[in-house]
Structure 1
């Protein structure tokens, strides 16, 4: 097994994680003993061919899916030892999520959508932090608009603000620019990049796009449920070459 080196104190880590869907002849081994750590204050992209296990790995790291073997840890907390209630609370309080579909509530304004994680948790809003996030995303003049009154790029920026509003330890982004044009996608990725540099955010992103991956500090590559390598300071061309080698 090839695995990436785990940071001495990663924000989130997988240790020998296995995941199997189905059984018998129909069994699909999505993850085959994956060990990998994701550093604090870093932007990491997970890439691989279709069916490589990249989305499964992210879902297991985020506590959205269970593992069949191994462990997942957030700092000193082992997710695989938590019950459903504890896991739900951890996801709510310590993780942020950005998905390809924006998942905004259509009846709420942009501001209400952004505040939703705080409202659900019964937490008070930090107005200074709210102003900083909204300003960084260029949403000040869009807060009273409902999703139907926003462009796709604006909706995804609202989703980014919602993911950040409770100051999570890790943000998981699953193909966050998949429904956006190149300009809107670049704006969202630029913000994610700046949130790492300026706010110390930790981001783990699944993507199939070499351009999106080039915004990351590091790219982890999977194939057939195993980690095959990693790359630091990626460029679109270097990522594309690595993917071609994986698929060869």
Structure 2
């Protein structure tokens, strides 16, 4: 079925667009078709979740959208830039300047404080800190009292909030989040998801999140579902129950 941005609250041009996207691993009889011609757009200033059964291609899709993996066919655009036409150096620059990442592992540097970890992308890029944005990001993720603590002095939920703030501070066009609550207990996971949603509502951020958790997906504005490398369903204003029902239908 065709999957579009219909029903989203934001009419701006999509932040990310994939057209005819295919990904094949291996050759001949050993070839695995992870993505089989996907057409999808992700709205600017919206929170979208990608879901599907194990092996459906959801992580492969996110990695191709973010320029972390090459595509076999089709195209990916981040804003007005086509990723699939860039060389390695250009891709590295685009990821640094236009994309934020939040992974299941927090990937914080243990010798740096929370504040230093948050500001690290700007330091690497040689960019100045916007103090107003820094204050808004820190308050959005609730880290004001923990800025001078190192990762070992923070809970898992606080460490992931540092990772979210680090992704937000460079004002990326889109943040890709890969199972961001996978290493967290339910309370910490709820906090992180709330902060992600708040960053969309209050900072106008665009977020694309891969998750297997119907509750996590319910924080999004929209959920797209994959099965066997194809987009097969699209849900707006999701609830945990509607997400679970859709997943059960796909796995049935």
The TM-score bracket by the shorter chain reads over 0.9
Paired residues for 1:9-28 under 5 Å: 9-28=13-32
Q: CA deviation at 1:6?
A: 5.2
Paired residues for 1:1-248 under 5 Å: 2-5=1-4, 9-248=13-252
SS of corresponding position for 1:216: coil
Distance 1:116 1:173 in 2: 18
Distance 1:150 1:6 in 2: 38
For residues 172-198 of structure 1, the C-alpha deviation after alignment (integer angstroms, 9 at most, x for no partner) is 000000001111100110011111111
Q: Which aligned runs of 4 or more in structure 1 are off by greater than 6 angstroms? A: none
SS of corresponding position for 2:133: helix
Do 1:60 and 1:67's aligned partners in 2 also have CA atoms closer than 8 Å? Answer: yes
Q: CA deviation at 1:76?
A: 1.5
Distance 1:122 1:43 in 2: 29
Aligned alpha-carbon RMSD (Å): 1.0
For residues 24-61 of structure 1, the C-alpha deviation after alignment (integer angstroms, 9 at most, x for no partner) is 22211100001100000010000000000000000000
Do 1:214 and 1:235's aligned partners in 2 also have CA atoms closer than 8 Å? Answer: yes
TM superposition score normalised by structure 2 = 0.96
SS of corresponding position for 1:25: helix
Give ranges in structure 2 of 5+ residues lacking alignment. 7-11
